[in-house]
């Protein structure tokens, strides 16, 4: 038996830094030559499958690492760039995620970390031919962007989602230097917008762009430069402009790019109509390949109909920036029977959702965002009845994100019956700890119904008044659950213990403002190494509890964020994650690694 077979633990596997793909013939278990094996394995895309492949035997481990072109790192601190570079010599594409998800909601202080620069430094020598970089919740500086633009000659695709620390100057560097750029996708970042000149920095020679998304940037870009860019990039298939692009300008762009598959419009309203509405309508009907539409800021009943000709082909319609009312949505949806994904603002109300239920039988994903989440006086938006209407008409729903101000257990039970295929169920009852508004009961049975009925559930976000019973249900029934988000819920340590004791596939657990303490934290001792991370903030965990966890589990990083002026014995924010890279070396003063 080859003693090198079947390395089960990540640490052990990564420690073996073989360089040679050729193992000696006498110990070879695999009947194929390496080249064949690599060729076969190169067809495997999913990183989860590749991880499984690498566990089979040493030959497969080696063949896999040499054939891997894309590496996905879900937590940038779980591994170091050096380890990655040592194991995977031929990477062309990297996806890197940094901060815990709650940083999107301002729960993580600035300067927490997740700086991309150390990665870029290592990659510049290890992967000089790197082509793609996708970053999520990383700290990215202008210097890093400039470094990226100038050190990787063949660089093609940059995607920045929810990152912060850079400005449009960094984008200038990318536009200027990346001669083969195919993708620039800048979404929802904490960016310093110093103006739209960056777009004018694309050289005249650059015609390779396929994806350009600057919808979330605020400053105006030079329309002239944009128009020229769009007209010379014949392979452009995704264009998402920002709100400053007017309807007239959009018209011109669409004439240049009828091949677009995904379009994000600018403002969808104008004071003075220079071209007739029918012209715009014709332009939209000429975009025969359009399947995704977003933007639509300020869309009014006057202009919305121009998209009707394109609606029949749409599979994804993002109306989360358009304050439509029910009647406007209903009219729109009668043209959009092929929709698979729909994002809305809750201004459409329950009536609008009824229209969704009747017009979109193929719908798989629905997200309803609150138009006025912080105005506590307004009692508008959507209720349980809208959700039920959608569930009746859209049995194929698998992904829902729903913000509402009232919900009932009965409604959610009905929804679960109607849509048993949910994989992602994220319900946000916006008032924390709110019970079923009709029965005044906790919302335990609602989520109980979901986990019992929807056996494919991978992601769950709970809300409302919840006792430990909810978590008992989750632990017992949610066999496929990978991500769980909990806020203002639970009655005791038992709640968290139920989850950690069940949910065999749990990878990410994020908890805030719940009465879970040290006993709950420590009940997961044997589980955390099989998870990506645990976040607990404003719970009852103490420093001693965290120290105990850190002591028992040296391969976890147990990080506590100190809050100014809070009790020293309380662990205000706790972030626990598995890692092969040891404690962070770049932790700021307020982060203690125990």
Partner 1 sequence: MNLRLNLKATELRLGLPGSRSPERNPELSLLSSSKIDENSHFPLFSPKSVVSRNKRGFAFSEGTLGSNTEAHIIQSSMAASVQESHCEANDTKQNHSNAANNSNTPPTKAQVVGWPPLRSSFRKNSMATITSKKVEGKSGASALFVKVSMDGAPYLRKVDLRAYSVYQELSCALEKMFSCFTIGEYGSHGNEKLSETKLKDLLHGSEYVLTYEDKDGDWMLVGDVPWEMFIGTCKRLRIMKSCDAIGLAPRAVEQSCNRK
Q: According to CB under 8 A, which residues from 135 to 174 bind partner 1?
A: 162
Q: Give the distance between the most distant pair of CA atoms in the chain.
A: 80
The DSSP code for 338 is T
Among 428, 478, 499, 594, binds partner 1 (CB under 8 A): 428
For strands 483-487 and 591-593, give the pairing. unpaired
C-beta of 84: minimal distance to partner 1 in Å? 28
Among 301, 361, 582, 588, binds partner 1 (CB under 8 A): 301
Q: Is 374 in the site for partner 1 (CB under 8 A)?
A: yes
Among 435, 448, 475, 545, binds partner 1 (CB under 8 A): 435
Residue number with CB closer to partner 1 (4 or 570):
570
Query: Residues 570 to 589: which contact partner 1 by CB under 8 A?
Result: 570, 572-573
Among 204, 224, 377, 568, binds partner 1 (CB under 8 A): 377
Q: Is 326 in the site for partner 1 (CB under 8 A)?
A: yes
Residue number with CB closer to partner 1 (53 or 333):
333
Q: Is 203 in the site for partner 1 (CB under 8 A)?
A: no
Q: Which range of residues in 44-52, 101-109, 177-185, 578-586 is near partner 1 by CB under 8 A? A: 101-109
CA distance linking residue 283 with residue 278, whole number of Å: 9
The DSSP code for 139 is B
Element (H, E) at 485: strand 483-487
Among 321, 471, 477, 577, binds partner 1 (CB under 8 A): 321
Query: Bridge-partner residues for 576, per DSSP?
Result: 534, 558
Q: Which range of residues in 3-11, 169-177, 545-553, 567-575 is near partner 1 by CB under 8 A? A: 567-575
Q: Which two tokens stand for residue 492?
A: 């005791």
Residue number with CB closer to partner 1 (75 or 103):
103
Q: Per-residue string for binding with partner 1, 451-480, x by CB under 8 A? A: ----------x---x---------------
Closest CA to 400 of 383, 422, 420: 422
CA dihedral 34, 35, 38, 40 (to 10 degrees): -110
Residue number with CB closer to partner 1 (499 or 539):
539
Burial 566-580 (b: 16+ CB within 10 A, else e): eeeeebbbbbbbbbb
Among 15, 82, 110, 567, binds partner 1 (CB under 8 A): 567
CA distance linking residue 570 with residue 582, whole number of Å: 24
Among 387, 488, 528, 575, binds partner 1 (CB under 8 A): 488
Write a three-state SS string for 68-87. CCEEEECCCCCCCHHHHHHH
Query: Residues 13 to 72: which contact partner 1 by CB under 8 A?
Result: none
C-beta of 281: minimal distance to partner 1 in Å? 19
Among 27, 124, 151, 216, binds partner 1 (CB under 8 A): 216
CA distance linking residue 346 with residue 229, whole number of Å: 36
CA distance linking residue 514 with residue 493, whole number of Å: 9
Closest CA to 460 of 449, 473, 474, 472: 474
By CB atoms closer than 10 A (0-12, 13-18, 19+), residue 272 is: exposed
Closest CA to 221 of 175, 177, 163: 175
Q: Which range of residues in 151-159, 417-425, 430-438, 543-551 is near partner 1 by CB under 8 A? A: 430-438
C-beta of 106: minimal distance to partner 1 in Å? 5
Q: Is 370 in the site for partner 1 (CB under 8 A)?
A: yes
Among 43, 379, 569, 589, binds partner 1 (CB under 8 A): 379
Among 512, 542, 557, 576, binds partner 1 (CB under 8 A): 512
C-beta of 174: minimal distance to partner 1 in Å? 20
C-beta of 527: minimal distance to partner 1 in Å? 23
Query: Residues 261 to 290: which contact partner 1 by CB under 8 A?
Result: 269
Q: Which two tokens stand for residue 304?
A: 């919305």
Q: Which two tokens stand for residue 57?
A: 């035997």
CA distance linking residue 345 with residue 354, whole number of Å: 14
C-beta of 279: minimal distance to partner 1 in Å? 21
3-state secondary structure of 118: helix
Q: Which range of residues in 44-52, 54-62, 366-374, 386-394 is near partner 1 by CB under 8 A? A: 366-374
CA distance linking residue 288 with residue 178, whole number of Å: 30
Q: Which two tokens stand for residue 459?
A: 């992601």
Q: Which range of residues in 88-96, 169-177, 415-423, 431-439 is near partner 1 by CB under 8 A? A: 431-439
């Amino acid at each position: 038996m080859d003693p090198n077979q079947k390395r089960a633990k990540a640490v052990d596997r990564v420690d073996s830094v073989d360089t040679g793909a050729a193992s000696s013939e006498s110990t070879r278990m695999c009947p194929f030559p390496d080249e064949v094996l690599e060729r076969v394995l190169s067809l495997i895309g999913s990183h989860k499958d590749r991880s499984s492949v690498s566990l089979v035997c040493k030959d497969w481990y080696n063949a896999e690492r040499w054939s891997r072109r894309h590496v996905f790192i879900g937590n940038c601190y779980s591994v170091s760039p050096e380890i990655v570079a040592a194991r995977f010599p031929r990477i062309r594409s990297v996806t890197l995620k940094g901060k815990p998800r709650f940083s999107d909601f301002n729960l993580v202080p600035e300067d927490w970390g997740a700086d991309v620069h150390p990665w870029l430094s290592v990659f510049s020598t290890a992967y000089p031919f790197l082509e793609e970089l996708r970053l999520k919740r990383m700290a990215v500086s202008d210097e890093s962007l400039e470094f990226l633009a100038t050190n990787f000659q063949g660089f093609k695709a940059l995607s920045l989602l929810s990152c912060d620390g850079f400005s449009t100057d960094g984008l200038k560097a990318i536009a200027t230097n990346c001669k083969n750029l195919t993708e620039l996708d800048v979404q929802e970042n904490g960016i310093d917008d110093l103006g739209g000149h960056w777009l004018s920095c694309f050289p005249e020679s650059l015609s390779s762009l396929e994806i350009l998304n600057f919808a979330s940037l605020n400053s105006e870009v030079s329309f002239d430069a944009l128009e020229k860019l769009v007209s010379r990039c014949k392979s452009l298939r995704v264009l998402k402009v920002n709100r400053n692009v007017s309807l007239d300008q959009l018209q011109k762009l669409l004439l240049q790019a009828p091949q677009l598959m995904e379009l994000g419009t600018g403002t969808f309203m104008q004071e003075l109509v220079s071209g007739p509405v029918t012209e715009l309508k014709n332009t939209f009907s000429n975009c025969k390949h359009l399947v995704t539409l977003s933007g639509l800021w300020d869309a009014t009943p006057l202009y919305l109909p121009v998209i009707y000709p394109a609606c029949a082909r749409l599979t994804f319609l993002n109306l989360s920036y358009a304050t439509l009312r029910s009647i406007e949505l209903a009219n729109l949806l009668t043209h959009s029977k092929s929709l698979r994904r729909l994002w809305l603002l809750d201004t459409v109300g329950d009536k609008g959702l009824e229209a969704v239920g009747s017009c979109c039988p193929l719908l798989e994903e629905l997200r309803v965002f609150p138009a006025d989440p912080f105005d506590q006086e307004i009692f508008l938006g959507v209720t349980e009845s809208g959700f039920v209407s959608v569930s009746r008409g859209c049995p194929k729903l698998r992904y829902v994100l729903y913000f509402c101000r009232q919900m009932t257990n009965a409604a959610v039970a009905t929804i679960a019956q109607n849509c048993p295929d949910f994989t992602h169920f994220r319900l946000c009852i916006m008032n924390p700890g709110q019970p079923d508004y009709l029965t005044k009961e906790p919302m335990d049975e609602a989520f109980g119904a979901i986990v019992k009925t929807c056996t494919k559930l991978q992601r769950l976000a709970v809300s409302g008044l919840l006792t430990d019973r909810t978590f008992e249900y989750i632990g017992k029934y949610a066999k496929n659950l990978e991500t769980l988000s909990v806020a203002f819920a639970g009655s005791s340590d038992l709640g968290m213990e139920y989850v950690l004791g069940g949910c065999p596939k749990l990878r990410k657990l994020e908890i805030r403002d719940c009465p879970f303490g040290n006993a709950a934290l420590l009940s997961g001792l044997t589980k955390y190494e099989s998870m990506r991370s645990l976040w607990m903030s404003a719970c009852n965990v103490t420093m001693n509890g965290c120290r105990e966890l850190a002591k028992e589990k040296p391969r976890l990083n147990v990080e506590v964020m100190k809050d100014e002026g809070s009790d020293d014995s309380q662990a205000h924010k706790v972030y626990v994650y598995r890692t092969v890279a040891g404690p962070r070396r770049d932790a700021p003063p307020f982060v203690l690694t125990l």
